[in-house]
């Protein structure tokens, strides 16, 4: 009864938080938001009605998920029937043996191993209940486990009904199969808890080991029935599951499991370890994640060596040139890591595409479509360069490690400081972007050249008259991506001292640039001459207008929010 | 009632934070826990509140009236204390953002109904900590640090009323009026509890605490009661915290 009340309250909390989150979200919508009053949070009576509706919807969702699961059993059975050549005789009502083999491996083993509640406590509800609502983990987690099993049992009853329509299972046999599935899942819950109790002293790796073992075993259990079917290994669900030894064994295991679950003492630790590394780390982790994105972590500071901290090599510089060089020198590994990973991924993708084109059996039409015009790859380059540009990372790191503190001093906001600083930084970002952008330029050229040669196109291998505009276009892209993020940073200065983004306009502009990059990815039929002309002209205009804006406004706009 | 700590040890990797603490805290006293940044005050609190497992040693709550030293207390096997026997009030309020204050208190009481002593109406609880009931219908996300701290103190000190209350620098976010209210709150409930209060503000420790303990080198050092109100208190404490060799007059109890 106490568990039931706890679960009801958990549902109420979950729904109340969802509704509050919805009201909060609506309040943040420009214009409309002002019409959403705070008083909505206090409509507790209305929220109770929503609790009922939300939980009905939750049960419906559960039933729907089970129906999809049921469909997957039929689909898997049919797939194996096709592979073994038995598909002509396949009938869901006569071929129940095959379906039940999948049911056994999927539900009795895979789901029980990998999707048990003890192994999958969630951040949104479970940790909140244990940590912030102070509910007794020793009562809460068992209640959640039993709740999951009860709902699971009832949601699987439709399968039992479908089974009873076949001539191989009576309704009672089908219900017994579902009941034993629940017992099996319950037994596996205590196995997870037992493993955790044994591994909990092995610092750091304890939960990871457990997860890998269980999920790995779950995946094997998912694959096993396919192997059994395809290799035509005899397997009878009925003979195994309805064997008295199996029934007694699984029931004994389930009963023992209930005792073990009720007496288990490490739930609180399990909850925190499974979600994050102990309780308070929850908020710290989020902050640390943000700080990592901004290149501002204690770990980063600890990794700085004597050479990083020495500024002698820049003694020939002075003022902000000196200041900026030190900043970028100390952050060079942070930037290099970002660039290296992205470049590696792009390089691998280009390599894979080249191999596909060279070895793939492409028809002549496709080849012509692909290589009819030189440098079809240019719009793709736009997207690639968007992902490779270090501008966003660099501006975020500048803010977190330097400007967040320095902007509080009036001298730092002086036009004589801000504007030269902008140009110094622009030069540095341009330099940082050179390796990745050069690589893309070379790769694109090689890709175009070799693909044409290897696919034996009759047309000229490369249209040499296009080389110059091609290079100018790529140079403009390099200028655009190096300039854009820094320009937006100086004009909108979107970051807060907590390293959040406050400016909605900033999000809109960045979203638009992303959209632009995505649109480029879709431009398979664009006239490449027009494309190059548009890129060159648009970037030139953007740069001119942007630099004028910087000179005129940035001393006023580059402020702390 | 006493809280016994016996040979308590806790390390993080190669870094040893608690090095075999032996101490007994008694009911009806407010203990000020002092220590430099990183000395392990929060780790000690986390171990006591069972948010962290300790490596060696024991922690136990003796609910009897008879005085017993930690060694004899731990020599007899006895059931472990419950998580709910120790309430920890964090420095940073630890509350769900997307709930109203009223919902939080209401649901909190529902969830912990078996532990709540003399449940009251939500508004009555609000009044206990001078929390404006009208603010109860706003999202906690929008609350000030002080308002959140009041809610946190409310659940730990007035709703659950655990025998042991640990306060991890709780007054840092309060304005002068709220700080005074909270100080009075702490004093008003001390009779039935063991209260351990960590702070860096020596004046507050002198003003509020009956006993002072210093966490240094992973051990707790008890400061003689008569020293708390002596003019030399601040100098002495700073000398201890600086690990001065002149601190030998203060021995572990």
Q: What does DSSP say about strands B15-26 and B2-12: parallel, antiparallel, or unpaired? A: antiparallel
> Does the beta carbon of B91 lie under 8 angstroms from any beta carbon of chain A?
no
CB contact under 8 A, B53 and A269: yes
> Does the beta carbon of A284 lie under 8 angstroms from any beta carbon of chain B?
no
User: Which DSSP letter does residue B139 get?
Assistant: B
Taking residues A65-82, what's their average pLDDT? 85
Among A374-383, A526-535, B160-169, the least confident range: A374-383
CB contact under 8 A, B98 and A280: no
Which chain A residue shows the shortest CA-CA distance from B88? Answer: A134
Average pLDDT of chain B to the nearest whole number: 81
CB contact under 8 A, A38 and B107: no
User: Which DSSP letter does residue B50 get?
Assistant: T
Which chain B residue shows the shortest CA-CA distance from A45? Answer: B103
> Does the beta carbon of A128 lie under 8 angstroms from any beta carbon of chain B?
yes
> Does the beta carbon of A17 lie under 8 angstroms from any beta carbon of chain B?
yes
The pLDDT tens digits of the residues spanning A334-344 come to 777 777 777 78
pLDDT of A215 > 60? The answer is yes
User: What is the distance in angstroms between the Cα of A511 and the nearest Cα belonging to chain B?
Assistant: 27
Among A58-67, A191-200, A540-549, the least confident range: A191-200
The pLDDT tens digits of the residues spanning A428-447 come to 888 888 887 888 888 777 77
pLDDT of B252 > 50? The answer is no
The pLDDT tens digits of the residues spanning B10-64 come to 887 778 888 888 888 988 888 989 888 888 888 888 888 877 778 888 888 887 7
- What chain B holds in terms of domains, given with CATH numbers, is 2-249 (3.40.50.300)
| CA distances (Å), origin A312, targets A22, A110, A283, A315, A425 | 55, 61, 39, 5, 20
- ipTM of the complex model: 0.74
Q: Nearest CB to A12: which of B107, B115, B139?
A: B107
CB contact under 8 A, A269 and B92: no
> Does the beta carbon of B55 lie under 8 angstroms from any beta carbon of chain A?
no
Extract the tokens encoding A65.
């998920």
Among A498-512, A537-551, B195-209, B210-224, the least confident range: A498-512
SS3 content of chain A, % helix, strand, coil (to 5): 80, 0, 20
Which residues in chain A have Cβ-Cβ distances shorter than 8 Å to B148?
none
Dihedrals φ, ψ of B105, to 5°?
-65, -45
Is A520 within 8 Å of A383 (Cβ atoms)? yes
Which residues in chain A have Cβ-Cβ distances shorter than 8 Å to B155?
134
Which residues in chain A have Cβ-Cβ distances shorter than 8 Å to B95?
132
Where is pLDDT greater, at A149 or A334? A149
User: What is the distance in angstroms between the Cα of B79 and the nearest Cα belonging to chain A?
Assistant: 13
User: What is the distance in angstroms between the Cα of B96 and the nearest Cα belonging to chain A?
Assistant: 7
Which residues in chain B have Cβ-Cβ distances shorter than 8 Å to A283?
92
> Does the beta carbon of B67 lie under 8 angstroms from any beta carbon of chain A?
no
User: What is the distance in angstroms between the Cα of A145 and the nearest Cα belonging to chain B?
Assistant: 17
Above pLDDT 70, what percent of chain A? 81
User: What is the distance in angstroms between the Cα of A6 and the nearest Cα belonging to chain B?
Assistant: 6
Among A70-74, A143-147, A374-378, B194-198, the least confident range: A374-378
Is A171 within 8 Å of A161 (Cβ atoms)? yes
Extract the tokens encoding A146.
């039993």
Residue of A26, A41, A44 to mutate, testing the B interface (most B Cβ within 10 Å of its Cβ): A41
User: What is the distance in angstroms between the Cα of B119 and the nearest Cα belonging to chain A?
Assistant: 16
Taking residues B114-135, what's their average pLDDT? 84
Dihedrals φ, ψ of B214, to 5°?
-115, 130
Name the range with the highest mean pLDDT among A92-106, A184-198, A374-388: A184-198
Residue B98's nearest CA partner among B139, B144, B152 is B139
Is A445 within 8 Å of A342 (Cβ atoms)? no
Above pLDDT 90, what percent of chain A? 10
Could you tell me the residue ranges of all domains in chain A? 60-279, 319-557
CA distance B5 to B215: 13
Among A494-498, B106-110, B181-185, the least confident range: A494-498
Which chain A residue shows the shortest CA-CA distance from B114? Answer: A2
């Amino acid at each position: 009864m106490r568990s039931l009340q706890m679960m009801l309250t958990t549902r109420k909390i979950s729904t109340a938080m969802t509704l509050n989150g919805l009201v909060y979200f609506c309040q943040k919508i420009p214009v409309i938001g002002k019409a959403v009053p705070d008083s909505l949070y206090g409509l507790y009576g209305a929220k109770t009605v929503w609790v009922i509706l939300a939980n009905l919807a939750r049960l419906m969702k559960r039933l729907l998920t089970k129906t999809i699961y049921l469909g997957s059993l039929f689909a898997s059975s049919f797939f194996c029937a096709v592979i073994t050549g038995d598909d002509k005789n396949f009938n869901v009502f006569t071929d129940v043996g095959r379906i039940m083999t999948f049911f056994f491996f999927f539900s009795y083993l895979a789901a029980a191993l990998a999707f048990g509640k003890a192994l999958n406590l969630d951040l949104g509800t479970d940790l909140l209940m244990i940590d912030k609502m102070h509910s007794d983990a020793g009562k809460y987690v068992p209640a959640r486990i039993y709740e999951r099993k009860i709902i699971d049992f009832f949601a699987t009853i439709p399968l039992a009904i479908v089974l009873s329509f076949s001539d191989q299972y009576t309704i009672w046999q089908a219900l017994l199969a579902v009941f034993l599935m629940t017992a099996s899942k319950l037994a596996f819950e205590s196995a997870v808890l037992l493993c955790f109790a044994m591994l909990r002293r092995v610092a750091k790796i304890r939960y990871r080991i457990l997860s890998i073992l269980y999920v790995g075993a779950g995946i094997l259990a998912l694959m096993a029935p396919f192997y059994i079917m395809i290799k035509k290994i005899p397997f009878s669900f009925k003979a195994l599951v309805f064997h008295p030894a199996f029934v007694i064994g699984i029931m004994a295991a389930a009963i023992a499991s209930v005792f073990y679950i009720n007496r288990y003492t490490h739930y609180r630790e399990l909850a925190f370890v499974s979600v994050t590394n102990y309780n308070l780390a929850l908020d710290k982790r989020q902050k640390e994640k943000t700080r990592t994105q901004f290149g501002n972590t204690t770990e980063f500071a600890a990794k700085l060596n004597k050479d990083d901290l020495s500024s002698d090599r820049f003694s020939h510089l002075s003022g902000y040139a000196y200041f900026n060089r030190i900043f970028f020198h100390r952050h060079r590994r942070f930037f290099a890591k970002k660039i290296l990973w992205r470049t590696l991924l792009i390089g691998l993708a280009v390599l894979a595409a080249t191999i596909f084109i060279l070895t793939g059996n492409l028809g002549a039409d496709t080849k012509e479509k692909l290589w009819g015009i030189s440098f079809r790859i240019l719009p793709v380059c736009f997207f690639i360069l968007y992902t490779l540009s270090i501008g966003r990372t660099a501006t975020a790191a500048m803010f977190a490690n330097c400007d967040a503190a320095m902007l509080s001093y009036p001298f730092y906001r002086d036009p004589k400081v801000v504007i030269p600083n902008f140009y110094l930084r622009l030069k540095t970002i341009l330099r940082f972007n050179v390796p990745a952008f050069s690589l893309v330029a070379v790769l694109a050229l090689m890709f175009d050249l070799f693909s044409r040669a290897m696919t034996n196109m009759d047309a000229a291998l490369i249209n040499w008259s296009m080389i110059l505009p091609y290079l100018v276009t790529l140079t403009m892209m390099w200028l655009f991506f190096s300039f854009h993020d820094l320009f937006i940073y100086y004009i909108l200065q979107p970051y807060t001292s907590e390293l959040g983004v406050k400016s909605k306009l900033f999000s809109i502009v960045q979203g638009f640039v992303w959209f632009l990059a995505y649109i480029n990815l879709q431009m398979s039929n664009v006239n490449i001459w027009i494309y190059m002309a548009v890129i060159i002209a648009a970037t030139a205009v953007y740069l001119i207008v942007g630099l004028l804006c910087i000179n005129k406004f940035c001393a006023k706009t580059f402020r702390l929010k | 009632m006493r809280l016994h700590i016996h040979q308590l040890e806790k390390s993080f990797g190669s870094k040893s934070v608690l090095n075999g603490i032996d101490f007994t805290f008694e009911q009806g006293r407010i203990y000020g826990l002092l220590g430099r940044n990183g000395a392990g005050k929060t780790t000690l609190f986390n171990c006591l509140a069972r948010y962290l497992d300790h490596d060696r040693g024991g922690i136990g709550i003796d609910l009897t009236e008879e005085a017993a030293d930690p060694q004899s207390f731990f020599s007899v096997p006895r059931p472990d204390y419950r998580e709910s026997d120790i309430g920890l009030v964090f420095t940073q309020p630890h509350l769900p953002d997307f709930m109203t204050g009223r919902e939080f208190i209401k649901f909190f009481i529902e969830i912990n109904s078996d532990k709540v002593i003399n449940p009251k109406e939500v508004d009555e609880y609000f009044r206990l900590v001078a929390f404006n009931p009208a603010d109860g219908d706003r999202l906690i996300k929008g609350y000030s640090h002080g308002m959140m701290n009041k809610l946190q103190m409310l659940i730990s000190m007035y709703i659950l009323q655990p025998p042991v209350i640990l306060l991890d620098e709780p007054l840092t976010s309060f304005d002068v009026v709220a700080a005074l209210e909270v100080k009075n709150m702490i004093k008003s409930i001390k009779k039935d509890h063991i209260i351990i209060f960590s702070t860096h503000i020596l004046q507050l420790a002198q003003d509020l605490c009956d006993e002072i303990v210093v966490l240094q080198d992973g051990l707790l050092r008890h400061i003689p009661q008569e020293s708390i109100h002596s003019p030399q208190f601040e100098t002495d404490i700073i000398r201890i915290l600086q690990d001065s060799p002149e601190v030998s007059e203060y021995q572990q109890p």
